[in-house]
Structure 1
Amino acid sequence: MNLRYAAARPATPSPPLAAMPYVAEANRRIAELTGARFGRSYLDLVADGRFEMDSTAAAIGFAALRAQAPGSALPLAETMQEAFYRAGDSLSDPATYLRIAEQHELDADRVISDLADPRTRAVALRDFGRAAEVDRDGGASHWPAPTALRTVSRPT
């Protein structure tokens, strides 16, 4: 199983959260249905409305972390989710990945370097393509979402 963090397609940063009034209601429903708890800092971002999400930056960040610890993709994705939805940290900010790298005892300098490496971006863009293959109905096309992909060997 491979875990990828991607929407079905790369995107430019989304409009500010204020332009997406459904986010607060969606968060309320998610909490109601799943028991998930959103952190005060994240809820403040939503209420303020100026924050802009960027699924491409999040996918690049996840690829940079995963490069050092491919077997730890799930805990890394969980830490990214906690950083955003609990701590309100931007997944576009290299400082967020520095903290995650340190928390997971990865080479933080390498993670920061990989964030700017075109090869890491290429990996993230491939992740978008793979997620789109799995989600042909477009259900994840507007949200960054962890996507579990089972690797299937194909004859060459």
Structure 2
Amino acid sequence: MEKAKLLYFYDPLCGWCFGFSPVIKKLEKEFQKQINFEAISGGMVLGERVKPLSEMKDYLKEAMPRLEEMTGVKFGKPYLDILEEGSLMLNSELPCVAMTVYKSMTNNSSIEFASALQSTLYEKGINLNEIENYEELANRFDLPWEVFKSKMEEPAYKEKTYREFQIGQQMGIGGFPSVVLSIGNQGYLIARGYRAEDEMKAVIEEILAKESATSK
């Protein structure tokens, strides 16, 4: 059986993806010998959807306690402070470009980088719309900052990012997080929205066993 591939459709501004991050990271560690994992940017907040955080404040303050209870993640005080202040613009474009640049510079885990992007916003309250704010991330992942910064400013990487958004659209991905397990020509949608680790693990093991038996 050829090595399976898991596509993790996420968006850096997706709160439920932040909650799902510990799950997908544990799954990558568990199945890395059998499955190649890749984070695919979704482009959730673009164009007319770009808005100040203040417009989402009431909805988020209502949803966040349930999200924390279900997933075990905690929103950091710096994020809660910028949520209260409300002027930060919600825009997926630049953090998604950062993922494209990251994947162009290393074969290391894009799952880990996706998690780090979300931690930067939801735990540290750092504005992801400013290129200079990515220096700490580049350094943390041992990527030369000047090269990383230069690529983030190149139109080619923005164009490549928008092409990546189309992958999810073409596959009918309607929300985030979503997870597709692909083996050969067969694809399995194994999560649409948050799903617990034990459920994910059981589904993946079942599919791998089925495909292994079929390929013999």
Where does the alignment leave 5 or more consecutive residues of structure 1 unmatched?
Answer: none
Distance 1:97 1:14 in 2: 20
**Alignment pair present for 1:16 and 2:52:** yes
Aligned to 1:104: 141
Report the number of matched residues: 148
Aligned to 1:49: 86
Letter in 1 for 2:159: A
Query: Highest CA radius of gyration, 1 or 2?
Result: 2
Distance 1:88 1:12 in 2: 23
Contact between 1:62 and 1:77, CA under 8 Å: does it hold in 2? yes
Structure number with higher strand proportion: 2
TM-superposition CA deviations, 1:34-91 (whole Å, max 9, x none): 1111111111111111111111122111111221123321111111111111001112
Distance 1:122 1:131 in 2: 16
2:75 to 25, 32, 38: 38
Secondary structure in 2 aligned to 1:71? coil
Contact between 1:5 and 1:127, CA under 8 Å: does it hold in 2? yes
Contact between 1:59 and 1:124, CA under 8 Å: does it hold in 2? yes
Distance 1:151 1:117 in 2: 32
Letter in 2 for 1:5: S
TM-superposition CA deviations, 1:126-156 (whole Å, max 9, x none): 111112233x26324xxxx6x65656767xx
- CA distance 1:10–1:151, shift in 2 (3 Å): farther
1:121 to 150, 155, 158: 158
Aligned to 1:27: 64
Contact between 1:9 and 1:128, CA under 8 Å: does it hold in 2? no
**Alignment pair present for 1:64 and 2:108:** no
Letter in 1 for 2:108: G
Contact between 2:44 and 2:92, CA under 8 Å: does it hold in 1? no
Instruction: Please state how far the C-alpha of 1:9 moved relative to its aligned partner.
Output: 7.3
- CA distance 1:9–1:51, shift in 2 (3 Å): closer
- CA distance 1:12–1:151, shift in 2 (3 Å): farther
Compare 110-119 and 125-134 and name the one that shifted more.
Answer: 125-134
Distance 1:91 1:149 in 2: 27
Distance 1:122 1:151 in 2: 25
Aligned to 1:94: 131
Aligned to 2:120: 83
- CA distance 1:60–1:24, shift in 2 (3 Å): same
Larger RCO, structures 1/2 (Cα 8 Å, 6+ apart): 1
TM superposition score normalised by structure 1: 0.82
Aligned to 1:5: 41
Distance 2:47 2:183 in 1: 27
Secondary structure in 2 aligned to 1:138? coil
TM superposition score normalised by structure 2: 0.61
